[in-house]
Amino acid sequence: MSRLDLFIDRMVSQRACLDLAVAETEDLQGPIYELGLGNGRTYHHLREKGLSRDIYVFERAVASHPDSTPPEDRLILGEVTDTLPDILGRWGPTASLIHADLGGHNREKNDLFARKISPLIEPMLAIGGMMVSSDRMYFERLSQQPLPEGAVEGRCFIYRRDGA
Ligand code: SAM
C-alpha cells in the first residue's frame, strides 16, 4: 500500500468518523475540542457544519490555511499535556466531542503519545460524549465504537463515554 493510499484512507476515515460523531452527539450542548489544528482541514469540516456548539482548538503553533484559522478566543495555545488539564480544571467534564489528530509520521512515537494523553482526555468528555482519534487510545472507561461505513479499520478510532 502506498503512502498516498494510506493518506487517502486516513482522510476518508476522518470524515466518516467525524460525521458520525457529530450526528450522534447532536443533543449535547457542550463544546467540541479539536486537538491539533495543522492545516485546519478537519477544523474547517467541523465548522462548516454550522453547529451551535463552540469549537475550541488546542495547538502548540498555528500554521493553518487562513480560511481554517480559529478566532483567538477559541484557540488554546500550548502543549496539550499542559492545556488539557488546565481546561479540565476550568470547565470540567463538558466536551460533547473531542477530535485528536496530533500524530506525525513515527507510529511508535504516536502510540507512546496516545498512551500519555489518554488519561488527560478521558475525564474531559460529558456523559454521551464521543472521541474520534487518528491513533488508538488507551481509555479505561470509554467504550470503543464500530466504525461507520466508508471508514478504514486502523486509520481512525471512535470512543464514547456511556456513563459516569
Ligand atoms: N487534523 C489537521 C488537519 O486536518 O489539517 C491536521 C493535524 S496535524 C497532523 C497535527 C497538529 O498537531 C500539528 O499542527 C501539531 O503542531 C499539533 N500538535 C502535535 N503535538 C502537539 C502537542 N503536544 N501539543 C499541541 N499541539 C500539538
The CATH number that applies at residue 133 is: 3.40.50.150
User: Do the Cβ atoms of 123 and 144 come closer than 8 Å?
Assistant: no
Reported as a pLDDT band with limits 50, 70 and 90, residue 163 is confident
Q: How far is ligand 1, taken at its centre, from the CA of residue 36, in Å?
A: 3
Global pTM value: 0.97
* Rounded CA separation 131/113 (Å): 16
The pLDDT of residue 50 is 87
The mean pLDDT of the chain is 97
Count how many domains the chain has.
Answer: 1
* Rounded CA separation 67/87 (Å): 26
Grid look-up 493518506 returns 7
* Rounded CA separation 62/50 (Å): 22
Mean pLDDT over 141-155 rounds to: 97
Percentage of residues in the chain having pLDDT higher than 70: 100
Mean pLDDT over 5-27 rounds to: 97
Range of the domain at 151: 3-161
All cell numbers assigned to 15: 470524515
Mean pLDDT over 93-106 rounds to: 96
Q: How far is ligand 1, taken at its centre, from the CA of residue 69, in Å?
A: 13
